[in-house]
């Protein structure tokens, strides 16, 4: 199977990935975009002899990361019900889960953990007990299973084996969202990032967190972002940094896209601390643009101006700013990418989920 199979035309895989993206990331993607991503991922990730299970695992994780979920996907919590289904006995499921949990996550508390779970009995709320879920590598799994057999006999040995299988299944398929995390309030179209001038966001003040996550992982697409969305991204960055922010009208804004004040400063009572012009360009910023921004700073009585662009300033622009001592700051594409990574990591990952 693997690369020989056209994963981009596998309807079951596409529907599964669509559900993962919409639930985990809160994005809706076009069928064509998902097909292209799946084919590319399969070619890069899968060997010719990859089985269906391996393919699902790799394609799922890579797709979630590509569309905005960095790093290892959160596997979730609340393993007891799954282990109970495998083991068939709630008491045994709790004991086995506690046994594995103590050794993987709380090695210093093994005796206390075992006393609490194995000797004091099962509480009425046992089915809702939550423990972290992580992948258990084969060598470590064999150690845990052998220890369970040696200390507690064959019954717990089998239950521990089932617990480990349940953990690895959840991690590999990326199917679990922690029960104590909130879901995204809605699902937004990824196409809006490139086509819409809207500056309203369900998960952010000006720019939606899901677009932050996507661009942090796919920064090469920054030049295709709608011009108004790019302005909203810049405004969002300063809003989260604690400043008072005013996003300009968009059209006919006289070259000032964003105005920023120190926190606590009345927007209507004092000149802005910083005025910002945003540029999605392919060519370097010319000195004409720099001169115009410097004049805007003087007119607005701002402390400084900032030009946030997807490209660098030209040598001439830098020279004129230096020789004339313009109070201007250059923010280029590399800096914008750093901003996105900073915003991406707020709240330990998925910002809205906390």
On the CB side of 193, how many CA atoms lie within 13 Å of its CA? 25
The number of beta carbons lying within 10 Å of the beta carbon of residue 305 is 26
The pLDDT value given to residue 95: 82
Residue-wise pLDDT tens digits, 216-230? 989 999 999 999 999
Alpha-carbon distances of 336 from 32, 198, 214, 306, rounded to whole Å = 28, 20, 14, 13
- Structure tokens, 126: 């046992």
The pLDDT value given to residue 78: 55
- Structure tokens, 269: 């009572």
The pLDDT value given to residue 131: 63
Residue-wise pLDDT tens digits, 97-124? 888 877 877 666 555 555 554 433 444 4
Separation of CA 336 from chain center: 17
Contact by Cβ (8 Å): 25, 210: yes
Crossing angle of helices 333-344 and 209-217, in 10° steps, is: 120
The pLDDT value given to residue 269: 77
Spatial CA neighbour of 233 closest among 252, 216, 254, 253: 216
Please tell me the distance from the alpha carbon of residue 175 to that of residue 236, in angstroms, as a whole number: 31
Which residue ranges in the chain fall short of pLDDT 50?
1-3, 71-77, 117-128, 175-182, 346-354
């Amino acid at each position: 199977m693997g690369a020989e199979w056209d994963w981009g035309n596998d309807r079951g895989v596409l529907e599964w990935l669509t559900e993962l993206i919409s639930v985990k990331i809160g994005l809706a993607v076009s069928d064509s975009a998902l097909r292209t991503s799946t084919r590319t991922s399969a070619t890069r990730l899968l060997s010719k002899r990859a089985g269906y299970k391996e393919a699902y695992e790799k394609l799922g994780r890579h797709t979630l990361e590509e569309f905005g979920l960095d790093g290892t996907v959160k596997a979730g919590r609340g393993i007891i019900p799954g282990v109970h289904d495998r083991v068939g006995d709630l008491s045994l499921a709790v004991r086995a889960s506690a046994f594995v949990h103590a050794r993987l996550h709380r090695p210093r508390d093994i005796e206390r953990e075992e006393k609490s779970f194995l000797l004091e009995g099962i509480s009425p709320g046992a089915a809702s007990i939550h423990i972290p879920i992580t992948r258990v590598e084969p060598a470590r799994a064999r150690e845990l299973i052998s220890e369970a057999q040696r200390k507690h006999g064959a019954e717990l040995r089998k239950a521990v084996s089932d617990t480990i299988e349940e953990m690895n299944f959840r991690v590999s398929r990326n199917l679990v969202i922690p029960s104590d995390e909130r879901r995204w309030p809605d699902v937004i179209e990824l196409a809006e990032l490139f086509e819409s001038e809207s500056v309203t966001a369900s998960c952010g003040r000006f720019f939606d967190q899901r677009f932050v996550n996507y661009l942090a992982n796919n920064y090469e697409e920054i030049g295709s972002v709608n011009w108004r969305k790019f302005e909203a991204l810049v405004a969002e960055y300063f809003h989260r940094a604690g400043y008072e922010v005013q996003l300009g009208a968009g059209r006919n804004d006289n070259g000032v896209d964003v105005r920023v004040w120190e926190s606590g400063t009345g927007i209507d009572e004092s000149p802005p601390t910083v005025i910002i012009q945003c540029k999605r360009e392919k060519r370097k910023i010319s000195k004409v643009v720099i001169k115009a921004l410097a004049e805007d700073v003087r007119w607005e009585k701002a402390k400084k101006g900032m030009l946030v662009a997807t490209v660098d300033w030209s040598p001439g622009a830098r020279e004129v700013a230096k020789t004339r001592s313009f109070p201007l700051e250059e923010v280029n594409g590399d800096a914008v990418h750093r901003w996105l990574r900073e915003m991406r990591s707020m709240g330990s990952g998925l910002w809205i989920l906390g």
